[in-house]
Amino acid sequence: MSTFEQLVFSGVQPTGNLHLGNYLGAIRRWVALQEDYNCIYCVVDQHAITQAMSVWGGPAELMRNTREVTAAFLASGIDPKKHIVFNQSRVRQHAELAWVFNCIARMGWLNRMTQFKDKAGKDRENASVGLFTYPNLMAADILAYRATHVPVGEDQKQHLELTRDIAQKFNTDFSGRIAELGLGVETQSGDETIASFFPLTEPVIGGPAARVMSLRDGTKKMSKSDPSDLSRINLIDDADTISKKIRKAKTDAEPLPSDVEGLKDRPEADNLVGIYAALIDANKEKVIGDFGGQQFSVFKPALADLAVERLAPIAAEMRRISADASYVDAVLKDGGERAALLAEKTLRNVRDIIGFLQD
């Protein structure tokens, strides 16, 4: 029996306003993982349409945002030749596997998803069915490649737990058939070694920016959908806008504490220190070591300069790449073709395991 090949998969929705949370919580970490793993990075356009059209903006906006998110991946340092970059809808196997998972996941599991509750709001009867089954498509994205590692921000943790539950139930429900076809891969389950078809994917979550908060309210996540543009730094913001938003960021009146313990119960201070730490690739201790006891009138300009230094070149590169839509489209086409070959290999096995007749 073989073991699972280590593979990284992750995705971002093309719903506009790509922000510092997406960058520090996800994309920046994807760049680092390219050194040690084969990686597949996806613009999840089918997930985007689970919300109201007023949110994802309609066809022209979806095309624009899909290209812009792709440009952000490339501008941040993702290598589309060594790895794979594509948009989800090109690879039909994701939707096919999501259907299978619709039949594996239980209503009770999906009913517990907090992101559905947040996004559906009070009017649940009017939410799309796609928004409810969203996590099944996410599990399909990952498991179509039998990916072993998924780097995401903290907010995706529950979806990744569901992905593991789906994988486990599929492995168990079909264990006899998986063994009969010789498709079992050796996995460790406690002290036991068992044969599985799907891996139990590891979430890769952590670091000082796993949950970047709003600049206007340190208790709320930085989000694409916040009506206040001052609440977030968008990846396409220019230097002046970045500086202005950091200068205007909400803070309390105290100086920075002399140790990280002192950041407890100070959500705005904690958030800005976390952002600084992530931008210099260090931990919060290092930042407090350098700035502990200082006023925000000292720390904020330092953070603004650092953010501009790190983000402005990415914004410029994004604009340069976005201007060449045919280049971006060629990257997605090439990535899609390579992804489809891999996903089809998995889906052929899945069809056999379930008992769907095929040639």
d(CA 185, CA 194): 8
Residue nearer to ligand TYM on the CB measure, 231 or 243: 231
Minimum Å distance from CB 211 to ligand TYM?
5
The dihedral sign for the CA sequence 281, 284, 285, 291: positive
Minimum Å distance from CB 329 to ligand TYM?
21
Beta strands of the chain (E only): which ranges? Answer: 7-12, 38-43, 84-87, 149-151, 185-189, 192-196, 202-204
Q: Hey, which residues are catalytic here?
A: 119, 221, 224
Q: Is 45 helix (H, G, I), strand (E, B) or coil?
A: helix
Residue nearer to ligand TYM on the CB measure, 222 or 236: 222
Q: What residues pair up with 84 in beta bridges, in sequence order? A: 40
Minimum Å distance from CB 26 to ligand TYM?
4
Residue nearer to ligand TYM on the CB measure, 1 or 53: 53
d(CA 211, CA 7): 24
d(CA 56, CA 88): 16
> Closest Cα partner for 278 from 13, 29, 84, 5?
29
Site for ligand TYM, rule CB under 6 A: 9-13, 21-22, 25-26, 44, 47, 138, 141-142, 150, 152-153, 155-156, 159, 209-212, 221-222
Q: What is the DSSP string of 114-166?
A: HHHHHHHTT-GGGS-HHHHHHHHHHHHHHHTTT-SEEE--GGGHHHHHHHHHH
Amino acid, res. 265: D
| Tokens read off for 184 | 């079992």
Residue nearer to ligand TYM on the CB measure, 211 or 300: 211
Residue nearer to ligand TYM on the CB measure, 178 or 335: 335
| Tokens read off for 122 | 């009070």
